[in-house]
Homo-oligomer: A and B are copies of this chain.
């Protein structure tokens, strides 16, 4: 059971074409495609006739045609043609879901249609702002999406899982949490720590300061604003190098134990340098795959005994608050029915 009155990322814009795309979202089969005119559409991926998946059919103009017996549906999910029949039954329709195409993503609203306000789509402008460079991908993770959210909010893992990529031991970092009705925010500040491997490769010296601001936006998004500043010896002549990265993470439930993890790593420096872009793309792919392996192992252990007790420490507070925000949403939605 998932909160439904919120925008989830259904797909990257680049994934959509007139070739129907099957994707399970919030446990439900959804077919995504573009009409001939280019509009993004999301429908229930189950023909109302014999329950064949519509994604095995084809887009015909503004319609999608089922590949089994040829029923055709418009973008609102209404059946507009049944081969061999003159009259179409009133109940011949499938669910359609509001979508918004913005910031390189297709956003989907699977709850109460009347509440689907496009203004509620999170501000992910650095994904397609000309002043920023984009790298990103979609990653399938065989785990509850909240485990990925928790991973992103407790960055004390970075020095352990990512020791060979983006991490360094920052366990001396201070952590401060704050919550509002709309967000959960943590600030993790580390001073004079060993410079992470990837900053070293970009020419940083051996020590640095680093600040990470993690923001959870219910129900499925975590932005991480990272500033890394080289420490230069007192009295040295060189200027301290700096690096500013904005990570945008959207984790969409597929089932109770799997999710679609959409991430982007955007930067406001060297934005036209393809070598730097390729470096960030490949490094982040590698690092986030290190997370995936651990999170999937964690899920398998949880599955074996979901009741096993856990210990909560300071670094977990963001995750605890995030779970509360989602549970509260779910409760409100359930009460409304």
Tell me the A residues contacting B by CB distance below 8 Å. 28-29, 45-46, 48-53, 56, 65-70, 79, 82-85, 89, 91-92, 150, 154, 156-157, 159-161, 169, 171-173, 175, 293-294, 297-298, 300-302, 304-305, 308-311, 313-316
Contacts and interface: CB of A to CB of B under 8 A. Distances in A.
A150 B161 CA distance: 46
A231 to B, nearest CB: 20
Contact of A52 (B84, B85, B297, B309): B297
Contact of A51 (B50, B67, B293, B301): B301
Contacts of A171: 70, 83-84
Contact of A160 (B68, B302, B315): B68
Most buried by B among A65, A157, A293: A157
A287 to B, nearest CB: 14
A84 B314 contact: yes
A230 B150 CA distance: 68
11 contacts: A45-B301, A48-B309, A49-B313, A50-B150, A50-B316, A51-B308, A66-B160, A68-B298, A70-B156, A84-B314, A89-B311
A305 B24 CA distance: 13
Given A70-B171, A302-B51, A85 B313 contact: yes
A301 B70 contact: no
Contacts of A173: 84
A67 B172 contact: no
A294 B315 CA distance: 49
Q: Which of A91, A172, A297, A309 has the most CB atoms of chain B within a 10 A radius of its CB?
A: A297
Nearest to A291: B68
B84 A310 contact: no
Given A50-B298, A53-B298, A53-B301, 4 more contacts: A50-B310, A51-B301, A53-B297, A89-B311
Contacts of A314: 84-85
A39 B205 CA distance: 41
A29 B303 CA distance: 11
**6 tightest A-B CB contacts, nearest first:** A83-B171, A84-B171, A52-B298, A70-B160, A92-B311, A48-B311
Nearest to A84: B171
B161 A68 contact: yes
Contacts of A297: 52-53, 56
